[in-house]
């Protein structure tokens, strides 16, 4: 699994400029729900004791939807143009 950790608020184009060179189908970010409930907002969590507000959003249409009440983490899917998707935190993205 490849984790993209956001240590500061950046714009989406800066994030995607890094992705182009990685040649991956998708990857995890440090974005996750503030609490593991579907009602909580998404934040960047670069460490367990630090959170940063999202200053921008680029969700796939219909997300975040907390499907089956279990989608608490944020990843970017290549097949969706690296738009943001909420997903289960244990979902395997990279399969060697």
Neighbours of 17 (CB within 10 A): 11
Q: Which of 57, 35, 53, 56 is nearest to 43 (CA)?
A: 53
pLDDT tens, 15-25? 677 666 666 77
Nearest to 29 by CA among 73, 90, 94, 65: 73
Task: Write out pLDDT tens, residues 76-86.
Answer: 888 888 889 99
- Report the share of the chain in percent with pLDDT over 70: 74
Domain extents in the chain: 3-87
CATH class entry, domain 3-87: alpha beta
Prediction pTM value: 0.78
């Amino acid at each position: 699994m490849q984790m993209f950790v956001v240590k500061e608020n950046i714009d989406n184009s800066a994030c995607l400029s890094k992705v182009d060179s990685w040649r991956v189908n998708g990857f995890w970010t440090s974005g996750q729900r503030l609490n593991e409930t579907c009602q909580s907002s998404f934040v960047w969590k670069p460490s367990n004791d630090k959170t940063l507000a999202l200053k921008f959003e680029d969700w796939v249409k219909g997300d975040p939807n907390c499907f089956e009440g279990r989608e608490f983490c944020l990843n970017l899917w290549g097949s969706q143009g690296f738009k943001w998707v909420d997903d289960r935190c244990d979902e395997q993205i990279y399969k060697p």
